[in-house]
Structure 1
Amino acid sequence: MTELILFNVFNGIIIGAFYALMALGLSLILNLSGVINFAHGGFLAMGAYLAYTLFPYTGFWLALLIAPVLTAILGLVTERVLIRRLYGRDPLYSLLLTFGLAFILQDGTRYIWGPQTLPYEIPAALTTPLNATLFFLTGYRLLMLLLVIGVVIGLFLILNHTRLGIRIRAGTSDLDMVSALGVNVRILRNLNFGLGIYLAGLAGVLAAGMLGLQPTIGDSLIMPSFVAIIVGGLGSLPGTLLGGILIGVASSVTSVFFPSATEAVIYVMMALVLLLRPRGLLGEEGRIR
């Protein structure tokens, strides 16, 4: 029983890491641009399929590096061509646009790569358990966890110690003031959107090796990612990270005792947080900390 609980806790942390990566990207875009990006799951799937396409030519490691960057470039183009036109308008317009874009990306991947589940091969050395007792602790799972930790640390270093990151944080608080100080807000929003999509692409590449590769791979992650933002608190990236891990572990542990409530527990947590602390666990509205 102890091993089963440990397995589910660790598995919850891994799933929570996916939620956190997705939610951090969503939160970046929402905080600066006010866009609720329902197409985030579609970009996640695109990152996974790009890695699958690159894999025979570049190998696993280079595909892992290149695919999220290509996904980010796709995000930059999307923001420049479509989303930028809706800034300053009713948020409903951008919500409907990204909702439709999600279907376009999903059908696009289905048309190009087919509707069936595709095998995403990872190096054999990473599939071997590191310990005979802790059979669930494979090299790939550990790699995913370390990569997520590294990327999250890198993101916070960018936001706190680079000119781009400081401008993003300032723009979240008062975008008009940032513009008045001479910052090109269009470029700032574009780069911020690309950074958020990069996180989605990376989550897709990592998830493909664990969940399998199919056009709907992002569907199971997008709604919990929104919940992670609400639980952690709007405007708080540390809160978003905490929210993702919490709901991932809660969902996984619940599957041991109440399998039918695996998904429901996520929304129960959200409801409790909204009732007891409406701004979220670490939330401070309109501010990235």
Structure 2
Amino acid sequence: MGLLLLFNAFNGLIQGAFYALMALGLALILGLNNTINFAQGAFMALAAYFAFTLTPYVGFWGGLIIAPLLAGALGLAIETSLIRRLYNRKDPIYTLLLTFGLAFIMQDMIRTIWGAQGKPLEIPQFLNQPLSSTYFFLTGYRLFVVGVALVGTAALFGVLRFTRIGIRIRAGNSDLETISALGVNIYLLRSANFVIGIVFAGVAGILAAGQLGLNPNMGDALIMPAFVAIVVGGVGSLVGSLLGGLIIGLASGITTAFYPAASEVVIYIIMGVMLVVRPRGLMGQEGLFE
């Protein structure tokens, strides 16, 4: 029983890493762009399919680097041509509906180009090997997924803290009008922020495809838990989004060991309890939901 519990807990941690990467991108876009990006899951799937196409030519590592950037380039085109037009409308329902529709369009585009059937994404063989005969589920690839989530998060915090664009993004989250009055081009800033958020979704998509395989709707299974991770961790907190993703993933994995039917329900139970006990989330700003 102990090994089974450890197996499910580790599986949940891996799933939580996918949630965390998705949640980080969503939290970035929600914070500065004031956009509830329901197309995040579609961008994630698209990046995974880009990697699938590129892998025979540039290998897995090349695809892991190039595919998220291609998804980010598409995100930039969509942000500048469509989403930017809605920034002056204060109600986020407009961007929510726009990105909701975009998600369906992008999923149909994936089906048209690559087909509706699932596909495998080849990963380096040495990463598939178990690191222990006892803990057979402890493979190099799974540790690599957790490592990428942690390193990616650390890199994001480094950019936000020590670079000019990162400092401006943080300042814009607090007071966009003031930094605009100081001469910062907020449209370019929002575009850069949107691209960074999409790149995180792309990385999550490629890593998830290596573990779970490719299908056009693969983002649908991660988009809602990613939003839950933001609520649990605290809206406005990137650290909270990371913790929220790992917590709900771990809780889901442990629940699977005892009652598999409740493995998804427990995610929303945690969110409900958090909204009652601490509405701002683990590390959210006081007063945001209170």
Give the Å deviation of 1:220: 0.2
Length-normalised TM-score, structure 2: 0.97
- List aligned pairs for 1:91-240, cutoff 5 A: 91-240=92-241
User: What's the RMSD between the two structures over aligned residues?
Assistant: 1.1
Alignment correspondent of 1:279: 280
**Structure 2 segments unaligned to the other structure (5+ residues):** none
Match of residue 71 from structure 2 = 71
Contact in 2 for aligned 1:31/1:286 (Cα 8 Å) = no
Contact preservation (8 Å) 2:229, 2:245: yes
Matched, 1:32 2:35: no
Q: Does structure 2 conserve the Cα–Cα contact (< 8 Å) formed by 1:14 and 1:141?
A: yes
Q: Deviations over 1:41-64 (max 9, x none)?
A: 000000100000001111111111
Assess, with a 3 A threshold, how the Cα gap between structure 1 residues 107 and 236 changes in structure 2: closer, same or farther: same
Distance 2:241 2:286 in 1: 13
What is the CA distance between 1:65 and its match in structure 2?
A: 1.0
What is the alpha-carbon distance in structure 1 between the residues aligned to residue 222 and residue 14 of structure 2? 12
Q: CA deviation at 1:74?
A: 1.0
Counterparts of 2:267 and 2:61, CA distance in 1: 33
SS of 1:130 mapped into structure 2:
coil
Q: Which amino acid aligns with 1:238?
A: V
Shift of 1:286: 9.2
What's the counterpart of residue 7 of structure 2? 7
Q: 1:4 to 1:32 in 2, by over 3 A?
A: same
Aligned twin of 1:61: 61
The residue type paired with residue 56 of structure 1 is P
- 1:35-46 equivalences under 5 Å are 35-46=35-46
Number of residue pairs matched?
287
Distance 1:183 1:78, change over 3 A: same
CA contact (8 A) 1:173 1:286 kept: no
1:233-272 C-alpha deviation (Å, 9 max, x unpaired):
0101111111000000000110111111011000000000
CA distance, structure 2, for counterparts of residue 88 and residue 250 of structure 1: 39
User: For residues 170-203 of structure 1, what are the alpha-carbon distances to aligned partners after superposition, in whole Å with 9 as ceiling and x for unaligned?
Assistant: 0000000010111000000000000000000000
Q: Which ranges of structure 1 fall in alignment gaps of 5 or more residues?
A: none
- Answering whether residue 265 of structure 2 is matched by residue 264 of structure 1, we say yes
Q: 4+ residue stretches of structure 1 with deviation over 6 A? A: none
Output the CA distance in 1 between the equivalents of 2:10 and 2:284: 26
Letter in 2 for 1:46: L
Matched residue SS, 2:102? helix
Counterpart position of 1:81: 81
